[in-house]
Structure formats: C-alpha cells, structure tokens
Structure 1
Amino acid sequence: MKNKLLALLGGTLLSASAMAGGYQVNLASQRQIGMGHTGTGIQTGTSSIFFNPGAMSYLRENGVTVGASGLISKIAYRAPEPSGVEAMTDNPLGTPFQLYGVYGINDKLKAGLGIYTPFGSSVNWGDEWSGRFGLNELSLTAIFIQPTLSYQITDQIGVGVGFIYAVGGVNLQRSIPVQNQQGEYGRAELDGNASGIGFNAGIFFQPSEKFSVGLNYRSKVDMEVEGGDATFTVASAVSSRFPAGTQFDARLPLPSTLTLGVGFMPTEALTIAVDASRVGWSAYESLRFDYTAEVNGADFSESARNYEDAYIYRIGAEYKVSDVLALRGGAYYDNSPVMEGYLTPETPDADARGLSVGLGYAVSENFSIDASFLYINKEERTDTGALAGGIAGTYKSVAYIPGIGLNFKF
C-alpha cells in the first residue's frame, strides 16, 4: 500500500502546501536551507535577523539579501477499505520569500529589517473527492515584518531583539451536503484578512574562532481575523439557513519557537552547525469561527485540534572550496505536533525528514549568489481524524524545493 501511494505521488506534477510541522514553513534563507536550515549558533549574515538577532551585531559590512523558494509538493490520500478510493491535491506553486537588510549604526550597534514568510499553507483537494464536506480548499498566508536592533556587548557576546508585525489572511472552502435541482452540492467560503504581533530575541556567544553557541526565541503570534466574509452558495429552498452577508471572527495561533544552536569551525574552510528547536504547537487547541448570524442553526463552528509541542533536530555544514565557491549540505528530523485522532485534510501532518544541498558563489567582493535544494519526505500516516472532524484514511506527502538568493554588501 505504501508503494502504491508513493507511485501515485511520483507520477504527478507536484505543487505546493505547507511542508514543515503543522503549517510552519522553514525556508528563511537560501544559504541556511542548504545547511539543513541551521543557523542559530553561527553567524549567518543578514539572515541572523531571523535565526538569531544577537549575531547580527557581528556584521562588519552593511548588506541586503533577497531570496525565494519554489515550494513544489503533493499530498496523496487513500480512503479506508473496502472503498480504497484515492485522491490527490492540486495546488498552486508556493513561493516563500525573504528580504533582509542590515545597517551599522556604529561598530557595536546594528539595525536591521526582515520581511519573511515563516507560516503558510495551500491545499486544494477539489470538489469531487470523498472528503469534500470537510475541506475543498485552504489558503493560509502570513508575512512577518521585523525591525531589529542588535548590540555587541563584548567581543564574545552579542544580543538582539526584533518586533514582529504579521499580516496575512485565510480562505477556506468546503462543500455543503445539500443539493440543488441539478444535483450540485452547496458551497461555503470563509475569507478574511488577519494580523498579529510578537517578537524575536536572541543571544550569541563566540568564545573562540572555532566554537560558537546561540539561543533564539520567536514568540507566539495570534493572527486575528475580524469581520471576515462568510459566503454560502446553496439551493433556494435552504437559503434561509445560510444567510447572505454573514461575517465571522477567528483566531489562529502561530506558535513560538525556542532554538539552541551550536557552531564548530574545525578549519577556516569548514563550518558545522547543529540546531535543536522546541515549537510551542500546544497553543493550537481548536479551530473556531464565530458568525454574526446563525448558520445552519448555530452562531459558531468549532473543531478540536489539541496539537502538542514538537521538536526539530538539524545538522548542516559548509565547506569553502575557494575564495569564491562554497558547498553546503544538511539534514533534519521534524516531529509532527498532530496527535492520533486529530489528523485533518487541512494539515495531514506526519513526522518528516529533510535532506538539503546548496552552494554559494561570490561574483565580486560586493555581490554573491546562494542556491539551495531541499527534499522533504513525510511518513505515510493512517488516522481516523474522529476527534477533530477529520477525514479517515491514509495520507502521504513529499516535496521538492529549489531556491535562490542574492546578497549585496556596501
């Protein structure tokens, strides 16, 4: 059965969905993706705004980085026996991006701005699959805007903190089990903009040229939707149960992340990095929508999620072949926060393994290019989803993620 789902995935053009634990997207820097997305315990350049603001104070030049990934993924589904019906998501290409800029106020104090996309999901199951009354399509976007300050207390210690303002939105569509005269099912669409605030803080310690360590904390951000639009397309005979002009409020937590990172530099050419992260997914207890009017007899809908905190373990390395060329590689293991009985088609999550490679090329003293490629394979998982209003069956996900970044120094 497992080989059958893998064959189904392999024979189809793949497209995007969230491919880290839950709806997290760990694609914050092309250099660091190539190193397994490590970076908390080493100097990462302008992307330290994300990985560890404490290390930003060590930058000796002003810089700007812009990069993006093409998130190409697919989820395969098989219904329980005896039907064994299969389905496949058909999603648009995801394009997580990052933009960082750092400016030195003086030798010890640095100011920076980061704009990046650490959370998101795009899942399209279509209108014909057997779970259409649970979900047809989901789009979740979150863009973090983070002004940051970093100060080098001593030659060995740097600290930094950034304020996060998050903007985004959610669009959820599902079929309604009522039919019109043509036999077409009804449809519900919830669409709204969201925003939230948080912070990112870090400390970086480098006691020698061969060893460094860092600790970084990104806070939880509650994305609040107020006055979103709830649109229902149903047969006229039941339209009174689904009033036009209904609006909704909702809240989606983007969890906190605490990361400890260590860096080893055994030679001038080789850098090895190891990170361990704890992600506070237990903040996601339920998915609730509060309506301004009664919809099918109720003024709210709520489904349990009860995620649990999860860990991510990463290792990566960079080897400088020459003054202009660097080669990179990395791997990670990402625990799923979704407990048994709570799997849903919006995030059919499972423990994941990632393998990455990358390279950096210095075109000149002031301009360089980073390229990366990440492969993610999530374990095949069978679940009833009974505790969360999910769709029983077996799910399997894979992803292929190329990316490119441009770095400017001045």
Structure 2
Amino acid sequence: MKSKILALLSGTLLSASAMAGGYQVNLASQRQIGMGHTGTGIQTGTSSIFFNPGAMSYLRENGVTIGASGIISKIAYRAPEPSGVEAMTDNPFGNPFQVYGVFGINDKLKAGLGVYTPFGSSVVWGDQWSGRFGLNELSLTAVFIQPTLSYQITDQIGVGVGFVYAVGGVNLQRSIPVQNQQGEYGRAELDGNASGMGFNAGIFFKPSEKFSIGLNYRSKVDMEVEGGDATFTVAESISSRFPAGTEFDAQLPLPSTLTLGVGFNPTEALTVAVDVSRVGWSAYESLRFDYSAEVNGANFSESARNYEDAYIYRIGAEYKLSDAVALRGGAYYDSSPVQEGYLTPETPDADALGLSAGVGFAVSDNLSIDASFLYINKKQRTDTGAMSGGISGTYKAVAYIPGVGLNFKF
C-alpha cells in the first residue's frame, strides 16, 4: 500500500506538468488561430512577439493587441470490460489570453512586450468515477511575460529575441485508497506556485513581395515549485503517516518548440502560410518530488514519463474581401508525444486534428477586430497506463474554442 500511494502521488503531480505540454495552449493570436495558428513565416503584426520576433522589426506603426479565447472541452472515459463503466469530465470554462504591445525606437529597431498563456488546463473528473485514485481534478496555469527587441538588418532580413519570465501554479486533488470508519476515502491536495525563465528568438527573411520564410525557437522553461503545500485528509488512525504542514519542491519542464514557416502571396488579397513545428517533449524523462517530511514512509518520490519529441503540421490562409473585411481558415495535425503505457487521466493525449475559421474587420484606420473559432478532435485511444500509474481504459477528447481580439494602431 505504501508504494502504491507514493506512486499515485508522484505520478499525479508529474502529470500536471505533462498536461501543460500535452495540452499546450496554441492560442497566441486571434488572427493566427483563424489561419490554423500559422505565423512563423509571415508578418503577423504585434503577435510576432510570439510567432517570430524577427518579423516584429517590419512593423511600421506602433500597436497594441488584446485578445482572449474560451475553451469548452470534454473528455470521455470507458473502463475495460467486463465493467465498461463510463465517465465524463465536467471541466470549467478556460480563458487563455494574449496581450502584445510594440513600439518603434527607430525605423529598424522595435521594442515589444508580450503577456500570454502558452500552457494551462483544467480537468474535473469528480470523486465518484472509477479513476478517482488517479485524479479528481486539476488546474494548471502558466503565464509568460516576454520583453522583446527586433532589428531589421536589411530590407529582406529581420532578427529578434525576447526574454521569457514565466509564472504559474498547479492545484491537484485526488482520492487516497484508504478509508475511515464511515467508509469515506482519504483525499490529497497538492498546491504550489511556480516560476521559470527562457527565451524566444527568430529570424525572418522576405526575398520578394510574394514569398517569405521564418525560423523561430522558443526554449524550454523549467518551472520550479518551491515550498508547495501537500495537504492530506485521512482517517485519524493513519494521520501520522500523512503529516500536516508537509511541503514539496519540484521542477516541471515546459518543452521547447522549433518552428519553420513559409508564407506565399499569390495575389495582393490572398496570403497562404505553412508551419512545421518540432516540440521537445523528450524533456519529460522523469521528475522528482522532494517532501519536507516523510509521506507514508518516504521523503521523496520519482516517476518516469519518457515522452517522445513530436511534430505539428499547420496550414492556413487569409483572403481580403475588401480593405475592411478578411476571411480566414486553417487546419493542423498534432501528433501525440505520449507512448503506449503512459496515458493518464490528466493527459489522455492522442493525435489531434484542429480545424479553424476566422474573420477580421477594420472599424477604422486605427482599430480592428478579429474573431476566431477552433475545433479540436483527439483520436479515441485505449491504453493501460501501466508505465505511469495511469487508469486503464479508453479515452476520447474534443474542444470548442471561440475567441475575439482588438488591435489598436498609433
């Protein structure tokens, strides 16, 4: 029983970080969401801070962008036969956001600041489903703050780099497989704040009016949790094995992303973009948690993930109906980094297809509005979870994500 409880505790918190990766929030710009979240090889305005800081140097006006999306997601679960018990998450409404501002120091040098949410998720299974010893609910947030500089070396080449300071936190709750006299299971809650640092660098090359290419690298960010609170509610007879006031330290890696993008303008009204990203999921080899006191007989726990690097393939387009109205559409295929045997209820990840549409409307010369809608469909996947302390069964996930943004030029 001791080793089972420790494995559940370590595996569950590890999955919290993995969920940020497996559920990487690719919602950095309302215009670009509409175009399949492409943007590395084209000029995207102020959101170049995220997609390619090298392209930011091409902006000719100062600008501010404010946007947000709403995530409506569901995950379904079916236990193996003969039980075949089913469950469905009751996830809260998620609201990732982005804020960008760019100011021209001179014709070639631009300064910018981005605040955005590239990782985060909320999953609520409740405490009655058959996998409650793996997870009841999870809330994970990560906010990146990125001051950025971009310089246009020539009329054709721009480079840029941004420093990333990330802040966030995780709250995880799960049942413990021990009962009190009333037959109620124990409960564990892990809660902590995290921070980390990284960078975002890019180069943008535009050899002609019809063609452009970009390369962007967003580094891994190691989110460090220090002094997180581990709270246990158990029967009084075993409370000494789960001491009050226990704290934990951990390091939660958020993976790097290398993206190559190209843009093509066959006509003045049409822009086509293609991006290919390699995400450094192999950073999730293992993770160790150190406790300030012995929890059920041990003061640390460690669990393996052995994720694999994965690719995302994107295509998108924008067509300007007029000076005031632009229509957008896109699609992407996101391969899962989770190997067989490592699926968990926090990250019931699978290969995913994303389909998007959007519209842009210029209210005036200085103000425009972008709206987008993204549909994500993950393949149904059956796994034992044996290598990661997961819950054996079949999982299926979908998400519906509307969004809106405002752009100001001055």
Query: Secondary structure at 1:56's aligned position in 2?
Result: helix
Give distance in 2, aligned partners of 1:352 and 1:288.
29
Equivalences for residues 143-182 of structure 1 within 5 A: 143-182=143-182
Equivalences for residues 75-154 of structure 1 within 5 A: 75-154=75-154
Query: Secondary structure at 2:206's aligned position in 1?
Result: strand
- 1:359 equivalent in structure 2: 359
- 1:381 equivalent in structure 2: 381
Contact 2:20 2:254 in 1 (8 A): no
> 5+ residue gaps in structure 1?
1-17
Contact 2:20 2:121 in 1 (8 A): no
Tell whether 2:244 aligns with 1:244.
yes
Show CA shifts across 1:24-70 (max 9, x none): 11000000000000000000000000000000000000000000000
- 1:15 equivalent in structure 2: none
Give distance in 2, aligned partners of 1:186 and 1:166.
33
Change (3 A) 1:266 1:19: farther
Tell whether 2:27 aligns with 1:32.
no
Show CA shifts across 1:364-388 (max 9, x none): 0000000000000000000000000
> 5+ residue gaps in structure 2?
1-17
Give distance in 1, aligned partners of 2:249 and 2:172.
13
- 1:401 equivalent in structure 2: 401
Q: Give the C-alpha shift of residue 285 in structure 1.
A: 1.4
- 1:195 equivalent in structure 2: 195
Show CA shifts across 1:5-33 (max 9, x none): xxxxxxxxxxxxx9996131100000000
Show CA shifts across 1:221-257 (max 9, x none): 0000000001000110000000001000111110000
Contact 1:42 1:262 in 2 (8 A): yes
Give distance in 2, aligned partners of 1:142 and 1:20.
8
Give the percent of matched residue pairs that are identical in Structure 1 and Structure 2.
89
- 2:11 equivalent in structure 1: none
Tell whether 2:46 aligns with 1:46.
yes
Give distance in 2, aligned partners of 1:170 and 1:115.
19
Give distance in 1, aligned partners of 2:301 and 2:82.
31
Query: Secondary structure at 1:387's aligned position in 2?
Result: coil
Normalised to the residue count of structure 1, the TM-score between the two structures is 0.95
- 2:292 equivalent in structure 1: 292
Give distance in 1, aligned partners of 2:249 and 2:270.
51
Q: Give the C-alpha shift of residue 136 in structure 1.
A: 1.0
- 2:257 equivalent in structure 1: 257
Normalised to the residue count of structure 2, the TM-score between the two structures is 0.95
Q: Give the C-alpha shift of residue 302 in structure 1.
A: 2.3
Contact 1:21 1:335 in 2 (8 A): no
Query: Secondary structure at 1:208's aligned position in 2?
Result: coil
- 1:338 equivalent in structure 2: 338
- 1:231 equivalent in structure 2: 231
Contact 2:253 2:283 in 1 (8 A): yes
Change (3 A) 1:377 1:231: same
Q: Give the C-alpha shift of residue 399 in structure 1.
A: 0.6
**One-letter amino acid of the structure 1 residue matched with residue 243 of structure 2:** P
Count of residue pairs brought into register by the alignment: 393
Contact 2:186 2:233 in 1 (8 A): yes
